[in-house]
Structure 1
Amino acid sequence: MFDRRLLKNIDLGLIVIVLLIFIIGVIIITSATNVIDLTKDTSFKEAIDDILKNGIKRQPKVQIIAFMIGVVAILGILCVDYNSFGEAYKILYVISILLLLLVYVPGLAIDPSLRGGARSWIDLGIIDLQTSEIAKLGFILSFAKYVEERYENLNTIKDLIGPLIFVVPFVLLLLKQPDLGSALVFIIIAFGMMFVAGINMKIVIYGGLIGISSMPLVYNFLKPHQKRRIDAFLNPSDTSLNYHVNKSKTAIGSGMMYGKGIFKGTYHRGDFLPVQETDFIYAVLGEELGLIGCTVILVLYFLFLYKMVNIGKNAKDIYGMLVVTGVTFMFAFQVIENIGMTIGILPVTGVTLPFLSYGGSSLITSLIALGLVLNVSMRNKKIKF
């Protein structure tokens, strides 16, 4: 039975930070999905009236519904000691693999042509689910247990064979979809956990050098659209390859210090900015709220990650520390990659910005991950009477 006294230990600061990011996200998504006539110099009040007159689009509504589902999921997670997930790690591993295979079930999978060519989604009626998002959580919970049993015993290449075999099925299934962005997230999560578990740094360095030298070979196995993204990153002056990124950087730059104002960004109002409510939501924020708004979001994300690092350090056991580590690396990679690709310093991979970008399954997954961190946080201290 759940002991309510545990709630006294919950990190309210972390909850407040996530809530602030989500509220900002809903506002920006609402703006990004309501294209307004550019011929009108619309004031803030006129923009609101126009949106209310034409009706709020589906995306903000879905985002709010997904948030409520995620909150319910958090409450459920907090009622279960996180070590119970570790005890069931083999089952969670199998379920996670099966989730990635669901995208090949006829009648359930969404046509890849409707999702940018990626076979990553299934239709649940009220929401389209990207199964890799849920699989991330199962992977974190199961891999954390697997690594816990090998804690500070990852000194040789032989010691890494087991962890590599554990990770490879996820990466191969995601590359087949193809979803390079999600595959990279799984790799970063695995590396983060093994790094904290004491992996021999010589192996990391040698492995990194081998990985860098083998990139030309890996390039030949990429899909055409993935090759275009790499070519675009390596050739920033090519305007045809970098259309999305150039529009994103122009939108952010046009916001200057204070931005053009909420609902007044001309680039997304004119629908010139691609996938503006998901991959390039940061560009919409930059155009409308300027450098000040971008800085506020960066500070919020820094505090978010900093708090999770502290929770991991103070976890009462190794398993809890590794779970929080996996979640922290997952979020850190998504934040760095999304903002990096938006401003043109990293390749475009389609990774969304946690709690800010539109995406029901992504938001629910992020909230469940937050629930796992809060679970570890509130159980790392003795209950005070």
Structure 2
Amino acid sequence: MDGNGQPLDQGARALWEGDSNRNKSTILIVDDEPLNLKVLGALLQPHYRVRAVSSGKRALEAVFTAPRPDLILLDIMMPEMDGYEVLRRLQDNPESKNIPVIFVTALQDEEQEVMGFELGAVDYIHKPIRLAIALSRIRAQLDAKAARDMLRRNNSRLADAVAEGAHALEQTQLQLLQSEKMAAMGQLSAGIAHEINNPIGYVDANLGCLGGYLEEIFSIITAYERIAAVPENAELFEAVAVLRQSLNYDYLKQDVGDLLVECRDGIARVRKIVQDLRNFSHVGENAWQWVDIHEGLESTLNIVWHELKVHVVRKQYGQYGRRWRASGRRAWAGTGSRTKTNRRSAGSLRTVRRWGRTRGAPASVG
């Protein structure tokens, strides 16, 4: 039966049967006439979830209670609050402005119809209701709303994907920047190592020669002392003894040797740091190489020793570094060293000052 109590025609029946195969949408009917609510509700209920209210005020409340409507059939001529005012308030609220509203009215005034569209109505159903047309318009608006909802969801997912992509790109850029910084630091380390290595080599060689010269000088002095010790040279021997005591010769002879040893030790320390810097940088070496983990840790910790020397640190290496070659694993020589140094410099090497147990790293220095 249609809204006038007439049997459904074939077109309307086909529309109803098509709607019955879909997931039921919720339709809110707003009309101050109970008979209109009953008749329209009875026609739509087999195919949609139907809610009905008799005033504009109740309609504004029903919009925000579950199940929320997918479409509103709104009468225009109602007491207290007409359909135009209800539509204005629905459009003013972001939570309800996207719900399509179809005016159901007996008015035929063109200006009022235009005003309804300008306020945000999506369509009109005129009384007396022709069911086939009404169902067609309802279904068209529900389809349009479903398409809009899907578009909003897709846009939201797309926005999330774009945001994730932008975040990933930002992280990649930061990683590239960090890699460039580390590469620049490696090149700087290699340059410093090269500049230091040559003069250190000269100093080391010269200290070696100086040690040899001093030994020869001391041997000559010893020979002179033997000559002065001959009884015939007693006066000379006494003069030499006085000079020797005034110069504190025995201390000077011992201290010169100690100074040379300390200088050679310092040079060896500097050369070790230079070698570690060279191993650390590996400038231009991009091929896979076998590496010794223990050696990498030792060289890295040697470079950052100035940060660790106030601590008591224990080495607790395992056998992993020795089996690295046999395990078939490979690494970029130098990358790991720079990573370890970067982490330590950032403070991730946490040490206990009093007891010296290293945490956060597989090995430590002591």
| Category of TM-score, reference length = shorter chain | under 0.3
Write 1 or 2 for the structure with the bigger share of strand. Answer: 2
Q: Which of the pair has more CA radius of gyration? A: 2
Larger RCO (CA under 8 A, 6+ residues apart): 1
Q: TM-score if structure 1 supplies the norm length?
A: 0.24
Task: Looking at secondary structure, tell me which structure has more helix per residue.
Answer: 1
